[in-house]
Structure 1
Amino acid sequence: MSDIERADEAHGQAGTTLAKPGGGVPDRFENPGLPEHRHRMGDTDPAAARRAERQVAFFLLLSIIGSIGIIVSLVGIKYDDSFERISLSTKAIGLSMFVSLFALGVGAVHWAKTLMPDDERIDYRHRQRGTTAERAEAVAILKEGAAEAGLGRRPLIRNTLIGALALFPIPAVFFFRDTGPLPGNSLSTTMWEAGTYLVKDPEGGRIRAADVSIGSVVHVLPEGIEEAESVLNEKAKSAVLLMRLDESELMQKSAEWGVDGTVAYSKICTHMGCPVALYEQQTHHLLCPCHQSTFDLTQDCKVIFGPAKRALPQLPIAVDDEGYLVATDGFDEAVGPSFWERG
């Protein structure tokens, strides 16, 4: 008898059953079943259940306070064109939104872990659509689950949950309010007009045409913008990029509206209004970093890639008697994103 046969015989005498093809699972492998259920404190102690109920209600009330805080932050903190007020409003909205969402989530999780049914069950797979009796049974199970959730027996949780869920979407109304009304002609009117000098942003100071070298890009604003009634709004509309390249590379319109290859275009992307801030000197492409809309400076800032649908508006410029760059007119079309009433 070989060593392998002796080993097989020894295993057989020890009671070991080897699995064979088509033989199924050996008898010695038994279904271990589910582990013993561990009851939670809330399942066995009514006082613990009431304490958990109050804790859930506390978090839901905290969520309500957070939702109210969002509304108060949106309505109560008025902008006055100062970055401090904008920063305060943004922080207050963010903090209130965090409290509202976090408390609602913690309350829901704590409710599920301490008060909702905790029994282990096994559901076997069946056909996707059940029979009429099975569907009726499913409805009954859902109703049973709703009853077991304790909403009927726990009015404190039910009422605070209703309050939290009712108030939670209300701040969205105030957010949507800020998206309207439609801009109408407000984007068609900027501080740029004939005779307005170009000044550097942010340091200020008029710009001499001779100081703009080929390949350079200068961030520009209209002179006197700091005296505007709403400085931030005017800066958002009037920001301009000033660039110079070889005049032979420009199309006719760009060349005629520029000075010796120096041209000025709106800095506001025509897709979503992000600042177009990247200039590729070698390709003469302007890139919006938000959604990668790309404009070709040699083709009157035509869109060559990305979601934007129209070219950047050009600002016509000239040189005064002292050599400073000055606008000869405003933009010939609305700056920024397209909208229905854009003329």
Structure 2
Amino acid sequence: MSKNKNIPEETVHQTTAVVLEHGFTNPGVEPHEPERMTNKDAKAAKRAERQVTAWFLLSIVFTIAAIVAYIALPIRDNDMSSVHPNNLFLGLAVGFAFLSIGIGAVHYAKQLMPSHEMQEPRHEVRSSDEVREEAAEILHTANEESGIGRRTVLRRSLIGAAVVAPLPGVVMLRDLAPVSQGLVNPAEKLRHTIWGDKASLRLVQDPDGRPIKASDVQLGSAFHIIPENLNDIENHSQKIIEKAKAAVLLVRLPEDEIVSGAEDGYHGILAYSKICTHVGCPVALVEQHTHHLLCPCHQSTFDIADSAKVVFGPASRPLPQLPITVDSEGYLVSKGDFKAPVGPSFWEIEK
């Protein structure tokens, strides 16, 4: 059933004036669509309600299936074949869980929500008390017409689906600090890297592992660096974790242009963590003229010539510097671990 709101006479006169001035006619409200069966037949409305409820309940089932898939199909160390089924079934279950909520919401809107066309004039941004009272009345009417207040099963199934849907994310995030490891503070695991495991570790290129001499690093060049002891780690998963923490960007600047940080470098050669201190993205875009280092994720910008201090963007602290020197053969080596914790600042938070 179509229902138009009465238009004030003043608005009608204004509209007529605009029509006369510009020479076009007011098209008015489009013809109302044929009345829905759910408006005419109580049984059809009840059937639609059951269908919507079924979609919401199905979402809960898929959410539980996602949690089961995550636990039943774990990603095993040194077994890349276990990654595919884990990602496949987890992704499908989470996707169908949200899809079911979406389908149920659309079906609810199309079959059970009011379908009135309304036409009303613009009003000032700040409404009067009378208009606010009218808005409250409209909300009350909408609640009555939509039936969300009286359709108890449908409402509870929607709330249940919305509450349960985030659980797979909670389970996966919780698994970042597994009980089997005694709930060790994650910050402690990320505070130190394998650069600090041995003295005078050679800087080698990623991925070929070739050591670098100071003479190899020319002005304007940049190298992606890993520690030479990385290949000593046999466990593949652990090796990936340690590489992510120890990754370094090596650059060379004119010595007279370095403001600070030269004491931990070697003749203008500086080494900084590649892990952005904002949310951990890899930082690797070097602007040679300004000596700026850019994170492509959120545009945090660091000044390499001034201890990699933040000059722009959301990062809150400089990139940690790796102290370096050369050995007796002229190869670049580390003098210890990074001078500050790597990665996002929240890693420094103590319990």
TM-score, normalization: structure 1? 0.75
Indicate the percent of aligned positions where both proteins have the same amino acid: 45
Q: Which moved more, 1:86-95 or 1:193-202?
A: 86-95
Cα deviation, 1:144-182, whole Å, max 9, x if unaligned, reads 335487615xx4x45643442332243343355367775
Quote the offset at 1:286 in angstroms. Answer: 0.9
Alignment of 1:133-148 (within 5 A): 141=141, 144-145=144-145, 147=147
The amino acid of 1:111's aligned partner reads: Y
Q: CA deviation at 1:98?
A: 2.4
2:60 is matched with 64
Q: Would the alpha carbon gap of residues 232 and 56 (structure 1) be closer, same or farther in structure 2, given more than 3 Å must change?
A: same
Instruction: For 1:314 and 1:33, locate their aligned partners in 2 and report how far apart those are by CA, in whole Å.
Output: 67
Equivalent residues, number: 314
Between the aligned partners of 2:119 and 2:313, the Cα distance in structure 1 is 51
- Which is higher, the Rg of structure 1 or of structure 2? 1
**d(CA) in 1 for partners of 2:310, 2:111:** 57
Q: Which residue is 1:189 aligned to?
A: 192
Q: Secondary structure at the match of 1:185?
A: helix
Task: Name 2:36's counterpart in structure 1.
Answer: 40
Paired residue secondary structure (2:67): helix
2:272 touches 2:320 (CA, 8 Å); kept in 1?
Answer: yes
1:1-343 equivalences under 5 Å are: 35=31, 38-44=34-40, 48-49=44-45, 51-80=47-76, 85=82, 89-118=86-115, 128-130=128-130, 141=141, 144-145=144-145, 147=147, 151=151, 155=153, 157-158=154-155, 160-174=157-171, 176-177=173-174, 183-193=186-196, 194-228=199-233, 229=235, 230-251=238-259, 253-254=261-262, 256-339=263-346, 340-341=348-349
The whole-number CA distance in structure 2 between the counterparts of 1:105 and 1:145 is 21
Secondary structure at the aligned position of 1:68 is classed as helix
SS of equivalent to 2:106: helix
Counterpart contact for 1:117–1:148, Cα < 8 Å: no
1:249 CA displacement: 2.4
Taking structure 2 as the reference length, the TM-score comes to 0.73
Residues of 2 paired with 1:320 and 1:48: CA distance?
A: 83
Structure 1 unaligned segments of length 5 or more: list them. 1-19
Query: 1:317, 1:330 → 2: CA distance?
Result: 10
**In structure 2, do the counterparts of structure 1 residues 176 and 86 end up closer, same or farther at CA, with 3 Å as the change threshold?**
same
Change (3 A) 1:149 1:197: same
Deviation at residue 320 of structure 1 after TM alignment = 1.8
The one-letter code of the counterpart of 2:194 is M
Query: Please, what is the CA RMSD of the aligned residues?
Result: 3.9
51-60 vs 259-268, greater mean Cα deviation:
51-60
Name stretches of at least 5 consecutive residues in structure 2 with no aligned partner: 1-15, 178-182
Q: Distance in 1 between matches of 2:104 and 2:272?
A: 52
